[in-house]
Structure 1
């Protein structure tokens, strides 16, 4: 299964790139994400709950980011597993600056196994597109919220010294340790272990299944403004038909 598309976000490319690399933002734009943990450099594990019928289930998965070219491009390698089957995929994200906005272009390919494979490629592809679109809308909202956040007032402590503290530097006093000649080089410190950060998204902040469904309906109506009138006409016809059949009885 292959999928690709684009989405325009009303924000500069640097801000969009920063959001795409913030675990707090990522956890809130993935539909149904309940937990996201950074387990290493550019590597994450998480749990998501998907409510769309074709691919419904709770998935545990891992994502690794490679080929990073800030703020232009990166590559995603993902794998997920649920009671319904397994999903392995590779995708790319590219950001293009355009008149103060950012065009996010995505593309990818996935392999599906288990019960999911019997659903049908067309259904899975349609559900995937819907989820991606709702995720990108959530990303745009997160970026807009960041841009609207008020800047903290006041002068930083680096610019304004605290009251009662003198800014006059005391004369340097040579210490006994620094004065003593070095006898041997200290062993090199080991590199720090990758930071492990975990974000547990509260239920009220999750992009929940019902929110995704409402978003899909709204998108459908926005793309097809005539659709509600067809539904209304169908309902009126149905009601009139039932009324006529009752009178004939």
Structure 2
């Protein structure tokens, strides 16, 4: 399966790049993401619950980002599996400036196996494009939210910092071990997840934006139905 497309952000390239590299933001823009674990440098594991009919299920995934060119592009390698099958693929994103906007170009290839592969290529392609587009819409929302962070009424006072002189090691004493890099685990609250309801709402908004005549067709259908019942 091959996927390619683009999305336009009303933001600077630096803003988009910063959001793309913030695990807290990513966890809230991946559809159905319940948990995101940072397991290495630019390496993550995640738990997803997807409600979209063609790919419905709970999946565990692994994402590795490399070949990073700040603030322009990177490549990513993904692998996931669930009760309905598995996915393995790679792709790349690139940010380019156009006027006061930033365009994100994406492309990649994926292999799909298991029960999910029997759904049909057209349905899988449609589901993938839907999930990607709604994820990028959520990313755009997160970028706007980062410009206007919520102000808390009161913040707890930080604990006092106690400094002490480190002991001087003796000549025969081994040097202290290098500090380990702290890994983060992000558990996304249910009300902050990009749920299937959010995806469905976004799909409807896109449809109404692209096809403004749709509401009138629906209204005409309902009127015809109601008038037909009165006869």
User: Aligning the two structures, in what range does the TM-score lie when normalised by the shorter sequence?
Assistant: 0.7 to 0.9
CA distance in 1, matches of 2:176, 2:63: 30
CA distance in 2, matches of 1:12, 1:62: 29
1:27 maps onto 2:14 in alignment: no
Deviation digits for residues 45-85 of structure 1 (CA, Å, limit 9, x no counterpart): 00011111010111100000011111011001001111000
1:85 maps onto 2:85 in alignment: yes
Moved >6 Å (runs of 4+): 186-189
CA distance in 2, matches of 1:84, 1:2: 20
CA distance in 2, matches of 1:220, 1:80: 30
The offset of 1:192, in angstroms, is 4.3
User: Which residue of structure 1 aligns with residue 160 of structure 2?
Assistant: none
Alignment of 1:66-105 (within 5 A): 66-105=66-105
Alignment of 1:136-155 (within 5 A): 136-149=136-149
CA distance in 1, matches of 2:106, 2:97: 15
User: Which residue of structure 2 aligns with residue 217 of structure 1?
Assistant: 204
The offset of 1:243, in angstroms, is 4.0
TM-score, structure 2 length as denominator? 0.86
User: Which residue of structure 2 aligns with residue 132 of structure 1?
Assistant: 132
The offset of 1:232, in angstroms, is 2.1
Contact 1:43–1:64 (8 Å) recurs in 2: yes
User: Which residue of structure 1 aligns with residue 50 of structure 2?
Assistant: 50
Aligned residues: 215
The offset of 1:150, in angstroms, is 8.2
TM-score, structure 1 length as denominator? 0.80
CA distance in 1, matches of 2:60, 2:150: 36
CA distance in 1, matches of 2:176, 2:111: 43
The offset of 1:218, in angstroms, is 1.0
The offset of 1:98, in angstroms, is 2.1
CA distance in 1, matches of 2:13, 2:213: 35
Larger radius of gyration: 1
Contact 1:40–1:195 (8 Å) recurs in 2: no
The offset of 1:21, in angstroms, is 0.6
User: Which residue of structure 2 aligns with residue 163 of structure 1?
Assistant: none
Contact 1:38–1:195 (8 Å) recurs in 2: no
Question: Cα–Cα, structure 1 residues 95 and 54, in superposed 2: closer, same or farther, change >3 Å?
Answer: same
CA distance in 2, matches of 1:231, 1:100: 37
The offset of 1:190, in angstroms, is 5.5
The offset of 1:229, in angstroms, is 1.6
3-state SS of paired residue (2:28): helix
Which runs of 5 or more structure 2 residues have no equivalent in the other structure?
A: 152-167
